[in-house]
A and B are shown apart, each in its own frame.
Chain A
């Protein structure tokens, strides 16, 4: 099908610089199948779901569907024929000469990451998708360009560009077979990670809906209950708990991580293979996370927030930051940090929230518990009035609602003791969370905007909260402090500015 000698394997073995190449023809097949899938929902699903449709529709809609798919396929074929990619000395040039003309240049110096992604169709046909991301704030999530090539050619291109961008001289074979992972991760670890790395709230929601499903199934067997309640409860359980676990499992299966010079490489994937690489200087922040269940087993995991690392195609839209180490004990996490991202290791001297923060925390707990209890009491009262629940059940619910006060105050007491901050020379860190805890370590040089905020509950004690905005990145999460003295928080913007002023911040280090 392809007329390109390089794609046919008849061209030069190395990447042909300065010669326009067409994408692999499989891109037409893949996009046509995707179009067929979408068009199916538009044209065919209404036909299937409509009861007793007009018989003419049985002929018309499938014909329209097939025609639309054919038109889409022809257009995709035409677009494929008229799109070329050229790997030049200093940049990638992508030219599309269709109705919507495109002439895109991506300088190698601006590329933050090159990722290889192989889905099912790619693996059957023997192709790979090369995904290029640049250091852009507006395009941090979606790859700047996706180029589909034969797998061996894609590997060569990736390694040639890695050599140009990162200075790596290793070929794909050496990488795969010789370089060991920094940390030994078995697939059992990945299963454990998939099970225990979920936020506790999501796990509780999952358990709640599982409980409802079981109860409803029991009621159905005893003559009560409804199928629709069972289906909804099961759907909620699967979507809130099972799917996120499976996504993690499929994504991080066969996990391997290593670092060559200043570049971190991550390889993983069960069905779709992910090959991710990024320069260490593109890391905004690193997070050591410990959901409650994992922490009870002494396990933590390590993520990095990386600028210009696009969400992997085929992954979920809420793609998280790249995983540097799945759930492991703290000693292993520290060792991995020292080997993979030693730039973020520093001697921490964290400080807890000051004593005055207790006033703010407990006042907040009192306000929130009052508001919540008032809302619940009114709801229960109304439910009794409308005969939705019995008065005996109402008493139980009143007591349970009142006991929420204890939950709010206990949460406050733990928060007072746990939340901490630390300001180092090049980095600062915040520990946040009571049930699920996160230690976020941020480089001052990545800070874009600092917002220090006080309110009626904090101002009398000279306390404030700090929110830091970093370079936009996939999986980026808010960096927020607990309640600290305003002057302690102001150290953060002052250090950012001082590093710019005294030349400690060198923009070239982050290009």
Chain B
């Protein structure tokens, strides 16, 4: 599933020094997707029961059904691929995050550009001891998701210290 670029060595890093997520991150992704799936299936069930009654022609049935099948496949398959391709690296000068299922993005944020950091946790994250780090720059937000809570806090602390150092040097 993952190419050499994403392969993890014995040291827990890729050949380029990227880190992978903990396995419970994948379980967390599955749980999120199952919730979305349950809601989507409920909506689909309502649609199939009533589409005739509310005057929608049969032409709507097949596109909606096909979309639903694709959504179900995506929700079931995506966590494994997303997890396998999710790699991040906190360098001295940059934050690199690679992620994606169909499209893979490589996001690079120079540490020098960081204004603010935030660690956030939702109910599912709490269940698995995970957290997201949101990085605010003057041009927008970037995030590192599904991190182990302690790792997220360490990253935020070290980057915060760096940001504070820059602010002190410049004031």
B window 76-116: CB within 8 A of A: 93-94, 100, 102-110, 112-113, 115
Q: Chain A residues with Cβ under 8 A from B103's Cβ?
A: 453-455
Contact with B along A480-500 (1 / 0, CB 8 A): 000000000000010011001
B139 near A453 (CB under 8 angstroms)? no
A451, B104: Cα distance in complex, Å: 10
Is A311 part of the binding interface, using a Cβ–Cβ cutoff of 8 Å? no
A501's partner among B93, B106, B138 (CB-CB below 8 A) is B93
B139's partner among A449, A455, A456, A505 (CB-CB below 8 A) is A449
Is A45 part of the binding interface, using a Cβ–Cβ cutoff of 8 Å? no
Which single residue of chain B is at the shortest CB-CB distance from A386?
B57
A493 near B108 (CB under 8 angstroms)? yes
Is A92 part of the binding interface, using a Cβ–Cβ cutoff of 8 Å? no
B139 near A137 (CB under 8 angstroms)? yes
Q: Chain B residues with Cβ under 8 A from A455's Cβ?
A: 102-104
- Partner-contacting stretch, out of A339-347, A416-424, A464-472: A464-472
Q: Chain B residues with Cβ under 8 A from A452's Cβ?
A: 105-106, 108
A48, B94: Cα distance in complex, Å: 62
Is B168 part of the binding interface, using a Cβ–Cβ cutoff of 8 Å? no
Q: Chain A residues with Cβ under 8 A from B113's Cβ?
A: 447-449
- Given A459-B104, A496-B110: A448 and B139 within 8 A (CB)? yes
Q: Chain B residues with Cβ under 8 A from A459's Cβ?
A: 104
B137 near A469 (CB under 8 angstroms)? yes
A378, B60: Cα distance in complex, Å: 11
B138 near A471 (CB under 8 angstroms)? yes
Contact with B along A433-460 (1 / 0, CB 8 A): 0000000000000011111111110010
Chain B interface size band reads: 20 to 34
Residue count of chain A within 8 Å CB distance of chain B: 26
Q: Chain A residues with Cβ under 8 A from B137's Cβ?
A: 137, 448-449, 469
Is A388 part of the binding interface, using a Cβ–Cβ cutoff of 8 Å? no
B window 117-147: CB within 8 A of A: 137-140, 142
B59 near A449 (CB under 8 angstroms)? no
A472 near B138 (CB under 8 angstroms)? yes
A137, B138: Cα distance in complex, Å: 5
A448 near B102 (CB under 8 angstroms)? no
State the Cβ distance, A174 to closest chain B Cβ, in Å: 35
B109 near A449 (CB under 8 angstroms)? yes
A348, B104: Cα distance in complex, Å: 30
Is B10 part of the binding interface, using a Cβ–Cβ cutoff of 8 Å? no
A450's partner among B93, B107, B138 (CB-CB below 8 A) is B107
Q: Chain B residues with Cβ under 8 A from A453's Cβ?
A: 100, 103-106
B139 near A451 (CB under 8 angstroms)? no
Residue in A448, A453, A493, A497 with the greatest tally of chain B CB atoms within 10 Å:
A448
Is B170 part of the binding interface, using a Cβ–Cβ cutoff of 8 Å? yes
B138's partner among A448, A454, A464 (CB-CB below 8 A) is A448
Which single residue of chain A is at the shortest CB-CB distance from B141?
A449
A450, B108: Cα distance in complex, Å: 5
A451, B140: Cα distance in complex, Å: 12
Q: Chain B residues with Cβ under 8 A from A493's Cβ?
A: 94, 108, 110
Is A382 part of the binding interface, using a Cβ–Cβ cutoff of 8 Å? yes
A501, B142: Cα distance in complex, Å: 21
A456, B100: Cα distance in complex, Å: 11
State the Cβ distance, B135 to closest chain A Cβ, in Å: 9
B139 near A472 (CB under 8 angstroms)? yes
A459, B106: Cα distance in complex, Å: 13
Contact with B along A109-136 (1 / 0, CB 8 A): 0000000000000000000000000000
B106 near A382 (CB under 8 angstroms)? no
Which single residue of chain A is at the shortest CB-CB distance from B113?
A448
Q: Chain A residues with Cβ under 8 A from B142's Cβ?
A: 449
Q: Chain B residues with Cβ under 8 A from A378's Cβ?
A: 59
B59 near A469 (CB under 8 angstroms)? no
Q: Chain B residues with Cβ under 8 A from A496's Cβ?
A: 110
B106 near A497 (CB under 8 angstroms)? no
Q: Chain A residues with Cβ under 8 A from B106's Cβ?
A: 451-453, 464
State the Cβ distance, A448 to closest chain B Cβ, in Å: 3
A493, B110: Cα distance in complex, Å: 8
Q: Chain A residues with Cβ under 8 A from B108's Cβ?
A: 449-452, 493, 497
10 pairs, CB–CB < 8 Å, chain A vs chain B? A382-B59, A447-B139, A448-B113, A448-B138, A449-B109, A449-B113, A449-B139, A452-B105, A453-B106, A497-B110
Binding site for B on A (CB under 8 A): 137, 378, 382, 447-456, 459, 464, 469-472, 493, 496-497, 500-501, 505, 507
A-B interface, 6 closest residue pairs, ranked by CB to CB distance from nearest: A448-B139, A469-B139, A493-B108, A448-B137, A455-B103, A137-B138
- What 13 new A-B contacts, CB under 8 Å, besides A447-B113, A452-B108, A500-B110? A137-B138, A382-B57, A447-B110, A448-B109, A448-B137, A448-B140, A449-B140, A453-B106, A469-B137, A472-B138, A497-B94, A497-B110, A507-B170
Binding site for A on B (CB under 8 A): 57, 59, 93-94, 100, 102-110, 112-113, 115, 137-140, 142, 170
